[in-house]
Amino acid sequence: MGRAVIYETFGGPEVLELREVPEPHAGPGEVRVRVTAAGLNPMDWSIASRPEAAARFGITVPSGFGSDLAGVIDEVGDGATGFAVGDRVYGGALGRAVADFVVVKPAVDALWHTPEGISDEVASTLPVAGLTAAAALAAIGLRPGDTVLIGGAAGGVGVFAVQLARLAGATVIGTASPGTFEFLRQLGAEPLAYGPGLANRVRALAPGGVTAATDLFGTETAEAALALGVAPARISTVAAGPNPPGGVRATGAIDAATDVPEQITDAILAGKLTVPIAAAFPVEKIRDAVTLQAGRHVHGKVVVTL
Ligand SMILES: NC(=O)c1ccc[n+]([C@@H]2O[C@H](COP(=O)([O-])OP(=O)(O)OC[C@H]3O[C@@H](n4cnc5c(N)ncnc54)[C@H](OP(=O)(O)O)[C@@H]3O)[C@@H](O)[C@H]2O)c1
């Protein structure tokens, strides 16, 4: 038996139950991960609370919970290649990541080796947020000399986007609430308050203008960038659905280049990128972890440990 977070009806954190369930085993082409850490993302509680969001991912109740995991391979099925028992790994297992044992099909699900020197907690934060941040910047062709406006810069995706943009040679202006400004400065961004009048505040802070933007929270930043004269092709969104306003580019983790995980882990190992972990909760506290994350004022990532 192993533990798994399960929900039988859609709803808020109160529907999440930690249950003893039969251990799954690796079938042909599959590996089993003994999970030690699971990074949370807004999509996790969005899927668990909204049937229409779940349907978009093909998820029905009863369901497991979570999408990002890290741990150690403890079973390898026939024909599964590239992974061996004892390998440290991180990756994606949509709708089942927060469990002691998760079966993953490496040919279908994302699964990478965790480099030595990177903890499971940090590795478990990388798949959705790291790939999304990289895709958001790639979509706008960020280059040295750019001044990029990043909306929602202190969240799980934002902490990667800010640092990857700095590493790409851009100056970064990031939106947050005033209490978060020092956190953003530490990451290398010039902070600016979100909310009405954003375009005017950007003009005052950057008289030379911004050359690109990425919106990680709704459409406010994308609209401000359009008002500031940034070309739609140099504005991306990850949280505004497939048809954002003004012809700006909608993107997400699925669009990330295949070498992004290695780029990010190399940057972490080189001391050029840090992953702020806002809080780590033991799995028994899953409801507290989800409540914190769903509040939308987290700085960095929330992790659940098993
Ligand atoms: N398309 C994809 O593949 C994909 C993948 C990952 C995420 N996403 C989406 O991207 C969005 C960001 O994800 P995330 O993990 O970064 O979320 P998150 O960690 O929950 O974001 C929290 C951050 O949002 C900021 N924030 C709160 N209200 C805001 C507002 N009105 N305007 C701007 N920022 C605000 C907060 O700053 P303060 O604390 O300072 O208020 C906080 O730092 C989510 O909507 C998520 O669903 C999409």
* Assigned domain for 68 exists: yes
Q: Tell whether 182 and 243 lie within a shared domain.
A: yes
CATH number at residue 14: 3.90.180.10
- Distance between CA atoms of 66 and 264, rounded to whole angstroms? 22
Ligand 1 atom nearest the C-alpha of 297 is: 39
Q: Tell whether 180 and 282 lie within a shared domain.
A: no
From atom 23 of ligand 1, which residue's Cα is the shortest distance away?
Answer: 155
Is the model's pTM score more than 0.95?
A: yes
Q: From ligand 1's centre to the CA of 191, what distance in Å?
A: 15
Distant-in-sequence, close-in-space partners of 169: CB < 8 Å, separation ≥ 6: 143, 144, 145, 146
**Helix or strand run (H / E) with residue 147:** strand 147-151
DSSP-based three-state secondary structure for 113: strand
Q: From ligand 1's centre to the CA of 184, what distance in Å?
A: 14
Q: Which amino acid is at 165?
A: A
Give, rounded to a whole angstrom, the gap between the first and last alpha carbons of the chain: 14
Q: Tell whether 57 and 169 lie within a shared domain.
A: no
Q: Tell whether 107 and 201 lie within a shared domain.
A: no
The answer to whether residues 64 and 99 touch, using CB atoms and an 8 Å cutoff, is: yes
- Looking at residue 99, the DSSP 8-state letter turns out to be B
Q: Tell whether 105 and 15 lie within a shared domain.
A: yes
Q: Tell whether 94 and 81 lie within a shared domain.
A: yes
Q: Tell whether 140 and 85 lie within a shared domain.
A: no
* Assigned domain for 46 exists: yes
The answer to whether residues 12 and 49 touch, using CB atoms and an 8 Å cutoff, is: yes
Ligand 1 atom nearest the C-alpha of 251 is: 1
* Assigned domain for 182 exists: yes
Alpha helices (H) along 73-192: 120-123, 126-138, 156-167, 181-187
Q: In a 10 Å sphere around its CB, with 0-12 CB exposed, 13-18 middle and 19+ buried, how is residue 258 labelled?
A: exposed
Which CA distances in Å does 244 have to 12, 154, 268?
Answer: 27, 22, 32
Give me the pLDDT at residue 208, please: 92
- Is it true that the peptide bond before 127 is cis, omega within 30 degrees of 0? no
Q: Tell whether 53 and 142 lie within a shared domain.
A: no
- Distance between CA atoms of 67 and 62, rounded to whole angstroms? 16
Q: Tell whether 73 and 158 lie within a shared domain.
A: no
Ligand 1 atom nearest the C-alpha of 176 is: 40
149 phi and psi, to 5 degrees? -95, 120
Q: From ligand 1's centre to the CA of 193, what distance in Å?
A: 14
Q: How does pLDDT run along the chain (306 residues), one tens digit per residue?
A: 999 999 999 999 999 999 999 999 999 999 999 999 999 999 999 999 999 999 999 999 999 999 999 999 999 999 999 999 999 999 999 999 999 999 999 988 999 999 999 999 999 999 999 999 999 999 999 999 999 999 999 999 999 999 999 999 999 999 999 999 999 999 999 999 999 999 999 999 999 999 999 999 999 999 999 999 999 999 999 999 999 989 999 999 999 999 999 999 999 999 999 999 999 999 999 999 999 999 999 999 999 999
The encoded tokens of residue 137 equal 């910047």
Give me the pLDDT at residue 129, please: 98
* Assigned domain for 230 exists: yes
**Bridge partners of residue 31, in order along the sequence:** 76, 104
Q: Tell whether 134 and 111 lie within a shared domain.
A: no
Q: In a 10 Å sphere around its CB, with 0-12 CB exposed, 13-18 middle and 19+ buried, how is residue 19 labelled?
A: middle
Residue 217 structural domain: 129-255
Q: Tell whether 121 and 76 lie within a shared domain.
A: yes
Give me the pLDDT at residue 61, please: 98
Q: Give the distance from CA 190 to its chain's centroid.
A: 22
Give me the pLDDT at residue 107, please: 83
Q: Tell whether 100 and 134 lie within a shared domain.
A: no
6 phi and psi, to 5 degrees? -130, 150
Task: Please state the domain count of the chain.
Answer: 2
Q: Name residues contacting ligand 1 (CB within 6 A).
A: 41-43, 128-129, 132, 151-152, 154-158, 175-177, 180, 194, 216-217, 220, 238-239, 252-253, 296-299
* Assigned domain for 97 exists: yes
* Assigned domain for 260 exists: no
Count CB neighbours of 52 within 10 A: 9
- Looking at residue 179, the DSSP 8-state letter turns out to be G
Q: From ligand 1's centre to the CA of 239, what distance in Å?
A: 8
Q: From ligand 1's centre to the CA of 155, what distance in Å?
A: 5
The answer to whether residues 63 and 98 touch, using CB atoms and an 8 Å cutoff, is: no
Helices and strands of the chain, counted as H and E runs = 10, 16
Report strand pairing: 17-21 vs 2-7.
antiparallel
* Assigned domain for 104 exists: yes
* Assigned domain for 263 exists: no
